[in-house]
C-alpha cells in the first residue's frame, strides 16, 4: 500500500501547533506566578499589610544647647483602598464632621495622584484634631481599611528665627518623582534649615508587616514581628544662632523693615540672622498652615521675604572701607595721601555732595567722618591711571576682582536657601550700557561710595565687617554648628583669603575705631567694649534714605561682627548705629547699660506693620509710610548722588 505523504505532513503540523501552544501556556504561567512582580505584590497584599512607621524628626538646638524646635505627636487617618468595603459613608462622615462632598473630593484627589495604588497606604486626612482623633479611634473597627498613623508636628520653645528655621509642608508630585523616600501625604522641609538639612533631619522610615485572614481582619504581626523594621530618628542639629540674641534683634527691629546679621568672625558662625517684619514660626505648623501661609504671602510687607540674605541694597558708606583697602593695596594712596573735599567731590561738571569737615583729608579721618570726596578721588585716580593699567576698563576689572575677594557680587553660600548674590558690575556691563571705550571714572564715580549700580545683602555687609575684624580673611557664614552623628560639614568652614596686606586692614580698623570715639558712629560708643564701626546712609530714589551700620568688637580680639540695615531709616546714626551697638553690647556683656535706648528702638515704628512675630502688636505707631521698593534686581538704574552721614 502506498504511503499518504499528505497525511504524514499534516500530523507534523498538528503536533508542532500543539507544542507551540504548550510552550506559550508554560511561559504565561511563569509570567503570572514568578516573573510579574505586580501580580506577586497583589497576591502578597491579599495576605499582608505593610504599614509605614514614621521616624522622629531631628531636634534643633541653639549654640548654647537651648532646645528651639521639638516634636509633638500628630495623627493621620490613612487607608488601604483595596481593603475598604461595605463602608457606611454617612456614619464615617458624621464621625469626622465632614460632608459627603468633602469625602468624595478627598477620595478623588487621592486617585489623581500619579503614585496612587489601591494596595498601598494612602493618607485620607492629615493632622487630626484631638476631637477627631478621639471620635474616629472609638469607631475605627467599623471602618475596615482605615487606620491611624502617628506623625510628628513641629513645636517651638521660642517664637523667633522663623527665617532660619523654616517649616514643614506636604511633598509635591515632582519631589516624589525625584526621591523615592516620599509618598503622597508625606512632609518635607520648606525654607530655612528644615529644607537645606532635610536629609539629615527626616530620618529613615520603618515598617510593620501585619497578617490578615481570609475575611481581611488583622491577625497580628507577620512572623512575630521578625520582618518589621524600626524607624531611625533624624539627626539633631546644633545651630550657631544665639536664640536670645536673635529674639533681642527681632524686638529692636519691631515696626521696621530691614535686617540684622551678626557673625563670629573667627568661625563664620552666624549669631543672629534677623529679618523684619518676621512672623511666629508656629503659624506654619498644624492644620492652619495653609491659611496662615496665604496670609503671610499676600501681606504687603512680605514677612516671608528674608531681607537678611535676599534683600539687595545699595550699601552706602559702609562700602568705603573696601575702597580704602583696595587703594592702599594698589598704591593709589598711603596714610599721608590727602584729598580735598569742599562739601563734596568736584571734577569738571560733576559734583558728589558731602557734609562739612576738615579739608584736605587723609584715609583714617576720611573713614572717621565718612568723607565722600576722599573715596571718589581715590577711585578716579585708580581708574584713570592708564600708564599702570592700560585702560579704564582693565583698571576696573582689577577693582572688581578685589570686591569678589571680599565676598561681594556672588553668593556666600550660606547653608539656608534663597540667598541673593547682590550686584558688582564688571567692565562688560558698562561697555554694554555706556558704550565700549566711552566711559571713565567720572561716569561711574558713585561706585566708590556704595551707590550707583552697587548692591549688597546685609549678610555680605556683615561678612565684610568680619573680614576686616580678621584682618584679611573670612570663613563661609553658616547657621548649623554641628549635626549629631555627623559633625561639622567641611563646606561650612572654608577659609577665604583676600589679597590685601594685613597692615592695611589695621588702618581700616583704626579708622573704624575713630568713627566710634569721635566720628559719625560716636553715639554707639560703649566704655570697655572697644567697638569699631562705620555708618552708612544709602540714598533711596523711592523715599527716605536707608540707615546702615557695620562694626565689630572688641577691637583687638573680635568676637562679634554686625551689619544693620533699616529701610527708610534715614541717617546711619539714626537706627543703624544704636541697633548695631546694642546687639554687640547684649552679646558681649549679657546685659545693657542703655536700657532706655533699647526700649526706644523697640517701640519706634517706621511703618504700620501687621502682627507677625517681630511686627506683632505692642509697637507704637509713630509714623506711617509705604515700604521701600525691594531692590532685588541685578541691573539697577545708575545714580551719581552722594551719601549723607
Domain ranges of the chain: 243-615
pLDDT per position as a tens digit, 156-166: 999 999 999 99
How many CB atoms sit inside 10 A of residue 644's CB?
20
pLDDT of residue 427: 95
Per-residue pLDDT, averaged over 399-427, amounts to: 96
Does position 117 have pLDDT exceeding 80, yes or no? no
- Per-residue pLDDT of 528-585, as tens digits, reads 999 999 999 988 877 888 999 999 999 999 999 999 999 989 889 899 999 999 999 9
Q: Are 575 and 519 in contact (CB under 8 A)?
A: no
- Report the distance separating Cα 552 and Cα 560, nearest Å: 6
Q: What is the mean pLDDT of the chain?
A: 86
User: What pLDDT does 481 receive?
Assistant: 95
Tens-place pLDDT, residues 479-526: 999 999 998 888 888 999 999 999 999 999 999 999 999 999 999 999
Question: For residues 45 and 40, what is the distance between their CA atoms, to the nearest angstrom?
Answer: 9
Kindly give the pairing relationship between strand 480-483 and strand 237-239: antiparallel
Per-residue confidence (pLDDT) for residue 12, from 0 to 100: 67
Least confident of 15-19, 59-63, 440-444, 608-612: 608-612
Looking at residues 599-626, what average pLDDT do you find?
53
What whole-number distance in Å separates Cα of residue 547 and Cα of residue 577?
Answer: 9
Asked which of 72-86, 237-251, 628-642 is least confident by mean pLDDT, the reply is: 628-642
What one-character DSSP code corresponds to residue 225? G
* Whether the predicted pLDDT of 390 surpasses 90: yes
Contact 54, 152 (CB under 8 A): yes
pLDDT at 141: 81
What is the assigned CATH class of domain 243-615? alpha beta
The answer, yes or no, to whether residue 57 has pLDDT greater than 80, is yes
Per-residue pLDDT tens digits for 313-335: 999 999 999 999 999 999 999 99
Plot region of 80 (φ>0 → left; ψ -120 to 50 → alpha; else → beta): beta
Higher-confidence position of 102 and 273: 273
Predicted confidence (pLDDT) at residue 628 exceeds the cutoff of 70:
no
* Per-residue pLDDT at 52: 82
Euclidean distance between CA atoms 82 and 638, whole angstroms? 65
Of residues 111, 141, 134, the one with CA closest to residue 124:
111
Counting residues of the chain whose pLDDT is more than 90, the rounded percentage is: 58
Band of pLDDT at residue 624, cut at 50, 70 and 90: very low
* Grid cell in block for residue 381: 585716580
> Residue 424: which pLDDT band, with cuts at 50, 70 and 90?
very high
Selected residue with higher pLDDT from 357 and 599: 599
- The predicted pLDDT at position 222 comes to 74
Torsional sign, CA 351, 355, 359, 363: negative
Residue 42: Cβ within 10 Å count: 14
pLDDT (0 to 100) of residue 644: 40
Q: How confident is the model at residue 289 (pLDDT cuts 50, 70, 90)?
A: confident
Q: Which of 18-22, 159-163, 235-239 has the lowest mean pLDDT?
A: 18-22
| Grid coordinates given for 501 | 596686606
Q: Is the pLDDT score of 352 beyond 60?
A: yes
Q: How confident is the model at residue 46 (pLDDT cuts 50, 70, 90)?
A: low
Residue 194 has pLDDT above 60, yes or no: yes
Cβ 145 vs Cβ 82: under 8 Å: yes
As a whole number of angstroms, the distance between CA 80 and CA 147 comes to 9
Residue 632 pLDDT exceeds 70: no
State yes or no: pLDDT of 472 exceeds 90: yes
Amino acid at each position: 500500500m502506498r504511503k499518504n505523504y499528505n497525511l504524514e505532513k499534516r500530523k507534523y503540523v498538528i503536533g508542532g501547533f500543539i507544542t507551540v501552544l504548550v510552550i506559550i501556556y508554560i511561559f504565561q504561567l511563569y509570567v503570572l506566578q514568578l516573573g510579574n512582580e505586580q501580580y506577586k505584590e497583589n497576591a502578597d497584599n491579599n495576605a499582608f499589610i505593610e504599614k509605614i512607621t514614621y521616624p522622629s524628626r531631628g531636634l534643633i538646638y541653639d549654640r548654647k544647647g537651648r532646645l528651639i524646635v521639638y516634636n509633638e505627636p500628630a495623627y493621620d487617618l490613612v487607608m488601604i483602598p483595596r481593603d475598604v468595603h461595605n463602608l457606611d459613608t454617612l456614619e464615617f462622615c458624621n464621625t469626622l464632621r465632614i460632608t459627603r462632598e468633602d469625602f468624595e473630593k478627598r477620595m478623588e484627589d487621592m486617585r489623581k495622584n500619579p503614585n496612587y495604588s489601591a494596595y498601598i497606604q494612602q493618607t485620607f486626612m492629615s493632622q487630626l484634631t484631638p476631637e477627631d482623633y478621639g471620635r474616629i479611634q472609638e469607631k475605627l473597627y467599623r471602618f475596615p481599611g482605615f487606620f491611624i498613623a502617628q506623625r510628628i508636628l513641629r513645636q517651638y520653645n521660642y517664637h523667633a528665627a522663623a527665617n532660619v528655621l523654616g517649616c514643614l509642608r506636604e511633598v509635591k508630585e515632582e519631589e516624589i518623582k525625584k526621591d523615592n523616600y516620599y509618598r503622597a501625604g508625606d512632609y518635607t522641609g520648606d525654607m530655612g534649615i528644615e529644607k537645606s538639612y532635610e536629609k539629615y533631619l527626616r530620618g529613615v522610615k520603618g515598617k510593620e508587616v501585619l497578617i490578615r485572614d481570609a475575611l481581611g481582619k488583622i491577625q497580628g504581626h507577620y512572623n512575630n514581628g521578625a520582618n518589621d523594621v524600626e524607624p531611625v530618628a533624624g539627626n539633631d542639629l546644633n545651630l550657631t544662632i544665639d536664640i536670645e540674641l536673635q529674639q533681642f534683634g527681632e524686638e529692636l527691629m519691631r515696626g521696621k523693615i530691614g535686617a540684622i546679621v551678626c557673625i563670629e568672625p573667627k568661625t563664620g558662625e552666624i549669631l543672629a540672622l534677623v529679618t523684619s517684619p518676621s512672623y511666629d514660626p508656629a503659624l506654619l505648623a498644624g492644620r492652619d498652615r495653609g491659611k496662615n501661609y496665604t496670609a503671610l504671602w499676600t501681606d504687603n510687607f512680605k514677612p516671608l521675604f528674608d531681607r537678611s540674605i535676599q534683600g539687595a541694597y545699595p550699601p552706602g558708606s559702609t562700602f568705603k572701607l573696601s575702597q580704602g583697602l583696595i587703594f592702599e593695596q594698589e598704591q593709589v594712596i598711603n596714610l599721608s595721601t590727602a584729598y580735598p573735599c569742599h562739601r563734596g567731590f568736584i571734577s569738571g561738571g560733576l559734583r558728589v555732595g558731602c557734609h562739612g569737615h576738615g579739608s584736605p583729608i587723609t584715609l583714617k579721618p576720611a573713614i572717621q567722618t565718612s568723607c565722600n570726596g576722599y573715596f571718589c578721588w581715590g577711585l578716579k585716580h585708580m581708574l584713570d591711571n592708564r600708564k599702570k593699567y592700560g585702560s579704564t576698563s582693565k583698571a576696573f576689572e582689577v577693582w572688581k576682582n578685589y570686591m569678589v575677594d571680599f565676598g561681594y557680587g556672588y553668593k556666600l553660600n550660606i547653608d539656608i536657601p534663597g540667598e541673593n548674590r547682590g550686584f558688582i558690575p564688571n567692565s562688560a556691563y558698562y561697555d554694554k550700557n555706556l558704550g565700549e571705550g566711552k566711559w571713565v571714572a567720572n561716569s561711574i564715580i558713585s561706585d566708590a561710595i556704595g551707590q550707583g549700580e552697587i548692591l549688597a545683602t546685609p549678610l555680605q555687609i556683615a561678612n565684610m565687617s568680619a573680614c576686616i575684624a580678621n584682618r584679611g580673611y573670612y570663613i563661609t557664614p553658616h547657621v548649623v554648628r554641628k549635626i549629631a552623628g555627623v559633625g561639622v560639614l567641611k563646606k561650612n568652614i572654608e577659609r577665604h583669603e583676600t589679597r590685601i596686606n594685613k597692615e592695611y586692614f589695621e588702618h581700616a580698623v583704626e579708622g573704624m575705631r575713630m568713627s566710634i570715639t569721635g566720628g559719625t558712629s560716636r553715639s554707639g560708643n560703649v566704655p570697655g567694649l572697644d567697638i569699631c564701626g562705620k555708618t552708612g546712609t544709602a540714598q533711596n530714589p523711592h523715599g527716605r534714605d536707608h540707615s546702615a551700620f557695620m562694626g565689630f568688637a572688641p577691637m583687638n580680639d573680635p568676637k562679634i561682627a554686625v551689619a544693620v540695615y533699616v529701610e527708610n531709616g534715614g541717617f546711619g546714626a539714626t537706627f543703624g548705629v544704636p541697633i548695631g551697638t546694642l546687639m554687640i553690647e547684649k552679646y558681649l556683656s549679657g546685659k545693657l547699660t542703655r536700657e532706655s535706648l533699647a526700649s526706644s528702638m523697640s517701640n519706634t515704628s517706621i511703618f504700620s506693620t501687621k502682627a507677625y512675630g517681630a511686627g506683632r502688636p505692642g509697637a507704637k505707631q509713630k509714623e506711617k509710610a509705604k515700604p521701600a521698593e525691594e531692590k532685588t534686581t541685578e541691573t539697577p538704574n545708575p545714580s551719581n548722588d552722594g551719601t549723607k552721614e
